[in-house]
């Protein structure tokens, strides 16, 4: 399977940050992924730039005009929408009356840590549990939203290499296979990386715990 991102594309990912510094920022980066947050006010434009294969996750409702050399289209996205785009040279204009906010998720060239014997086919998403919604999936990654009521706990399950993005403020107890526990006090917009492991988690706060998980298959 092809890598999601090449060395050259990483350089080109910097292009977006340089051509639109007022509307973009590097939100998260480690050895394996890069996340750029776009906050584009009504009427504003991201000038022509090149981005390679990438996932997009919408943080707000917005309407944009997307223009490439031989293509023009209008898109209306809702908060929580997730989709995939292949390499393109394009510009984007916010044609709506609200802020367009979204995350761009890019895989870096370094191979992910092995997740053997963990398997994405045995996780909370495949189990079709009521608190899990699969938002998008392809050969590269799976994007899911999870909502836990106060006191609710998942069963023990495996997770592969993944990013977790908090959709609200919550407190969660992270329980590992060996019984060790760690409390995480998450704030809206926090983003964390997790290596493959077996785990469960319990909402130990007084409000719902809502977060989006980006599970990387390669």
Q: Are 185 and 140 in contact (CB under 8 A)?
A: no
Overall CATH class of domain 7-107: mainly beta
Gap between the Cα atoms of 124 and 72, Å rounded: 38
Q: Please report which confidence band the pLDDT of residue 5 belongs to, taking 50, 70 and 90 as the band edges.
A: very low
pLDDT tens-digit readout, 47-87: 988 888 899 999 999 999 999 888 899 999 999 999 999 88
Averaged pLDDT, 15-34? 91
Q: Do domains 7-107 and 132-216 have the same CATH topology?
A: yes
User: Comparing C-alpha atoms, which of 93, 99, 95 is closest to residue 46?
Assistant: 93
Instruction: Return the domain boundaries, the chain.
Output: 7-107, 132-216
Give pLDDT, residue 117: 64
Given a cut of 80, whether residue 118 has pLDDT beyond it is no
Give pLDDT, residue 11: 55
Given a cut of 50, whether residue 27 has pLDDT beyond it is yes
% of the chain exceeding 70 in pLDDT: 88
Tally helices (H) and strands (E) across the chain.
1, 18
Q: Kindly compute the dihedral angle of the four CA atoms of residues 32, 4, 145, 89, in this order, to the nearest 10 degrees.
A: 110
Contacts of 143 (CB under 8 A, 6+ apart): 55, 57, 82, 134, 135, 136, 137, 212, 213, 214, 215
Q: Please report which confidence band the pLDDT of residue 121 belongs to, taking 50, 70 and 90 as the band edges.
A: low
Q: How many CA atoms lie within 13 A of 161 on its CB side?
A: 17
Give pLDDT, residue 114: 81
- Please state the φ and ψ torsions of residue 96, each to the nearest 5 degrees: -95, -170
Mean pLDDT of the chain: 88
Residue 151: left (phi > 0), alpha (psi -120 to 50), or beta?
A: left
Q: Please report which confidence band the pLDDT of residue 15 belongs to, taking 50, 70 and 90 as the band edges.
A: confident
Gap between the Cα atoms of 96 and 63, Å rounded: 5
Q: How many CA atoms lie within 13 A of 55 on its CB side?
A: 27
- Please state the φ and ψ torsions of residue 14, each to the nearest 5 degrees: -65, -25
Q: Tell which CATH architecture fits domain 132-216.
A: Sandwich (2.60)
């Amino acid at each position: 399977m092809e890598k999601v991102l090449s060395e050259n594309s990483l350089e080109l990912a910097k292009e977006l940050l340089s051509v639109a510094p007022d509307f973009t920022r590097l939100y998260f980066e480690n050895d394996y992924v890069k996340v750029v947050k776009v906050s584009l006010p009504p009427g504003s434009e991201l000038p022509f730039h090149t981005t390679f294969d990438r996932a997009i996750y919408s943080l707000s409702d917005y309407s944009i005009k997307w223009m490439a050399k031989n293509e023009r289209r209008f898109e209306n996205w809702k908060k929580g929408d997730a989709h995939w785009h292949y390499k393109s040279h394009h510009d984007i204009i916010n044609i709506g009356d609200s802020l367009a906010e979204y995350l761009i998720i890019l895989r870096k060239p370094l191979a992910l840590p092995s997740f053997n014997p963990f398997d994405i086919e045995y996780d909370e998403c495949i189990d079709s549990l009521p608190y899990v919604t699969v938002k998008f999936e392809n050969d590269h990654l799976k994007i899911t939203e999870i909502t836990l009521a106060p006191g609710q706990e998942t069963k023990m399950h495996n997770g592969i290499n993944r990013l977790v993005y908090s959709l609200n403020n919550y407190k969660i107890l992270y329980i590992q296979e060996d019984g060790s526990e760690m409390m995480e006090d998450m704030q809206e917009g926090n983003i964390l990386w997790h290596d493959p492991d077996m785990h469960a988690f319990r909402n130990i706060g007084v409000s719902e715990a809502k977060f989006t998980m980006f599970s990387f298959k390669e």
